[in-house]
Amino acid sequence: MNIEKICVIGLGYIGLPTASLLANRGYKVHGVDLVQETVDIINQGKIHIVEPDLDTFVQSAVNSGNLVANIVADEADIFIIAVPTPFKANHVPNIDYIISATKGLAPFVKSGNIVILESTSPVGTTDIMEQTLKDEGVDTSKIYFAHCPERVLPGKIMHELVHNDRIVGGTTDEATKKTVEFYKTFVVGEVLETDARTAEMAKLTENSFRDVNIAFANELSMLSGKFGIDVWELIDLANRHPRVNILQPGCGVGGHCIAVDPWFIVDAAKGDAKLIKQAREVNDYKTEWVIEKVKNSALEFEKKHGKKARVACMGLAFKPDIDDLRESPALYITKRLVNDSFDVLAVEPNIENFSDFKISECKEAVKIADIIVFLVSHKEFLDLEIDDSKEIISYCKLIDRRKQKR
Ligand code: SAJ
């Protein structure tokens, strides 16, 4: 198959890196995004999200003339859909963006084209995409549909797009083969073949696996608190067993993937995904548990010293060394403390300004705070000098644990 032009729909955390990578590999790429401002920024060779090396890729893609962004799709040989799949109330998956992106292809898609879904999706979504085009009056008999889930880690996207193994599942064997052929032109990792439903479930399984394992670590941390045990020491020791590898507890699970995708399985399983559901609940509960602990410490301080405690919340992002606040438990904890009138210093070295409250400078905050709560293990926190008089609580693996309250 001769592939010249690719249309990428959705120019966010997955679509833009993919579009710019393909354009740098010599493909003509037509990128599509609903937001005119995003389109304008990209057409200037600039980026609207933070991701290492992405700026260089986008700049050279646009300068070469191979990447052009627009708010509407265009004819192409391959269409890649990379739009968000959030959930509605009650954790029911919302595939509206996929449906409307697919409808937007109807005037352009033709016989011989490949339509690829990269968005993380409930099982059966690739079939729904084909049906959507049929309903729009498109003859889909010679159009190839496949799911190739994105699996890249924010912060390492440009590397992982090329080096990770990919899973490709077509709605027919021919669709799988043609799509695999395409990914092999730019992926160094292995490109693995399956069917569309298995590919959809594989992606959900990967993130659920991680969620369940983090829930185990979070449960251990809450039990350790109860038993007067240092959870970090406990996990270090248990992990010395050759077949044990416990993940790290934190203040909850954030981001737009691991805290979301397991619900797609739970929703479809109708009561049969008990462990996956329980893990989600444990991880969400961990955040509430942290809020209670911090509040209790602040109230104890107030009782003892007759004045309100100043609480420094160290880190707002959903994981270390990034600026991404989406579904961040650290941000949620900080907001709850602020809303409940605690005296909070919010520290986030990766962000300069935030609409809801002032961002305090790291060293200054630990100097003036009474209680220092580490929520995210940003590198800036590792060597902080902290006065012995301060109360330190850490919900991430970070600092001199001898100082910590258990
Ligand atoms: N976390 C812990 N303890 C750990 C590891 C992570 O509490 O031991 C927390 C983090 O602090 C964070 C959350 O989990 O709040 C998720 O972080 P992450 O780094 O594990 O994953 P994401 O959400 O950035 O990216 C995941 C990746 N999936 C897997 O590792 C299975 C990535 O490969 C996917 O492409 C991405 O989801 C996605 O887009 O689905």
Give the residue whose CA is nearest to atom 37 of ligand 1.
257
Q: CA dihedral in degrees (188, 194, 196, 197; nearest 10)?
A: -120
Give the residue whose CA is nearest to atom 40 of ligand 1.
257
262 C-alpha to ligand 1 centroid (Å)? 12
- Ligand 1 pocket mutation, candidates 152, 163, 207, criterion most atoms within 8 A of CB: 207
What number does the ligand 1 atom closest to the CA of 218 have? Answer: 7
Give the residue whose CA is nearest to atom 27 of ligand 1.
153
295 C-alpha to ligand 1 centroid (Å)? 27
pLDDT attached to residue 399: 52
Q: Ligand 1 pocket: which residues have CB below 6 Å?
A: 120, 150-154, 206-207, 210, 214, 247-248, 250, 253-255, 257-258, 318-319
126-to-88, 168, 256 alpha-carbon distances in Å? 20, 12, 21
Half-sphere exposure of 179 toward its Cβ, with a 13 Å CA cutoff?
Answer: 32
What number does the ligand 1 atom closest to the CA of 248 have? Answer: 8
- Ligand 1 pocket mutation, candidates 222, 319, 350, criterion most atoms within 8 A of CB: 319
CA distance 117 to 148: 6
Count of Cβ atoms closer than 10 Å to residue 216 Cβ: 16
Structure tokens at 169: 């599942």
Question: Which 3 state secondary structure label does DSSP give 2?
Answer: coil
CA distance 240 to 178: 45
Residue 32 contacts residue 104 (beta carbons within 8 Å): yes
322: closest CA among 373, 364, 248, 380? 380
162 C-alpha to ligand 1 centroid (Å)? 19
Q: Provide the residue-wise pLDDT of the chain in tens; the chain has 406 residues.
A: 789 999 999 999 999 999 999 999 999 999 999 999 999 999 999 999 888 999 999 999 999 999 999 999 999 999 999 999 999 988 999 999 999 999 999 999 999 999 999 999 999 999 999 999 999 999 999 999 999 999 999 889 999 999 999 999 999 999 999 999 999 999 999 999 999 999 999 999 999 999 999 999 999 999 999 999 999 999 999 999 999 999 999 999 999 899 999 999 999 999 999 999 999 999 999 999 999 999 999 999 999 999 999 999 999 999 998 888 989 999 999 999 999 999 999 999 999 889 988 999 999 999 999 999 999 999 999 889 999 999 999 999 875 443 444 4
267 C-alpha to ligand 1 centroid (Å)? 21
Give the residue whose CA is nearest to atom 34 of ligand 1.
151
What number does the ligand 1 atom closest to the CA of 13 have? Answer: 39
Could you tell me the pTM of the whole model? Answer: 0.93
pLDDT attached to residue 397: 82
CA distance 388 to 370: 11
Question: Which 3 state secondary structure label does DSSP give 66?
Answer: coil
What number does the ligand 1 atom closest to the CA of 319 have? Answer: 11
Q: Which amino acid is at 294?
A: V
Q: Which amino acid is at 225?
A: G
**Left if phi > 0, otherwise alpha if psi is -120 to 50, otherwise beta: which for 90?**
left
Q: Known catalytic residue: 367?
A: no
399 C-alpha to ligand 1 centroid (Å)? 22
Give the residue whose CA is nearest to atom 25 of ligand 1.
153
What number does the ligand 1 atom closest to the CA of 318 have? Answer: 15
DSSP bridge pairs for 347: 314, 360
DSSP bridge pairs for 67: 29
pLDDT attached to residue 115: 98
Catalytic residue among 7, 257, 313, 396: 257
What number does the ligand 1 atom closest to the CA of 152 have? Answer: 35
Give the residue whose CA is nearest to atom 10 of ligand 1.
319
Q: Known catalytic residue: 257?
A: yes
Q: Output phi, psi for 187, to 5 deg.
A: -100, 130
Question: Which residues, 6 or more positions from 64, have their beta carbon under 8 angstroms from its beta carbon?
Answer: 23, 24
Residue 76 contacts residue 30 (beta carbons within 8 Å): yes
pLDDT attached to residue 402: 38
Q: Which amino acid is at 355?
A: S
132 C-alpha to ligand 1 centroid (Å)? 32
258 C-alpha to ligand 1 centroid (Å)? 6
120 C-alpha to ligand 1 centroid (Å)? 14
Give the residue whose CA is nearest to atom 39 of ligand 1.
257
Strands 371-374 and 359-360: unpaired
